[in-house]
Amino acid sequence: MKNILKNTIILTAITLIAGIALGFVYEITKEPIAQAQLDAKQEACSQVFPEADSFGEIVLETDKVDEVYSALKGNEEIGYVITATCNEGYGGDIQVSVGISKTGEVTGIAFLSISETAGLGMNAQEPEFYNQYAGKQTTQFYVAKDGGEGEPIEAISGATITTRAVTKAVNTTLEFYYDELGGQANE
């Protein structure tokens, strides 16, 4: 009985000390992590909309997309950067930011989160793949081997699931642009 009480006190003390240490580490790393995430978002915005000088977050009540930023050149709004996540990737969630000009042209895409198979799905981060979306003015894309309407996207060899997930995320941003931000289709 005496051993059980002693072991209980020791385990309680270890748990208490570990909890305090973990809380302390969390407080120290919270701000740098938040700043790194903000920097990654700003870098993605600059990558998908290089002609913009700055980006302002638009606060919207929606669950269709993750975030929306207004792309500004001086004081003029020239488009949007819309971030969406597709949970149908081979390795899990794929989160992309998509630049869309006021004329509905996709100015580029950037990945905020992707964890696909190395050498296959991770090739989505190669310019040969993601540049297929840029410069197109459409209401939707489709994976060429699947058929569909809109602009075709050639699948990554051996990573059709990843290609479909990225295309779905990009289409989500386009749908949001046309339905919620008043974009006009010019097709």
Kindly give the confidence (pLDDT) of every residue in the chain, 187 residues in length, as a single tens digit, with 9 standing for 90 and above: 778 888 999 999 999 999 999 998 888 888 887 788 777 788 888 889 999 999 988 888 888 999 999 999 999 999 999 999 999 999 999 999 999 999 999 999 999 999 888 888 898 999 999 999 999 999 999 999 999 999 999 999 999 999 999 999 999 999 999 999 887 665 4
- Per-residue confidence (pLDDT) for residue 80, from 0 to 100: 95
Residue whose C-alpha is closest to residue 87's, from 54, 63, 59, 58: 63
pTM of the prediction?
Answer: 0.80
Q: Tell me if 49 sits within 8 A of 107, measured CB to CB.
A: yes
- Which tens digit of pLDDT belongs to each residue from 156-183? 999 999 999 999 999 999 999 999 988 7
- Per-residue confidence (pLDDT) for residue 184, from 0 to 100: 67
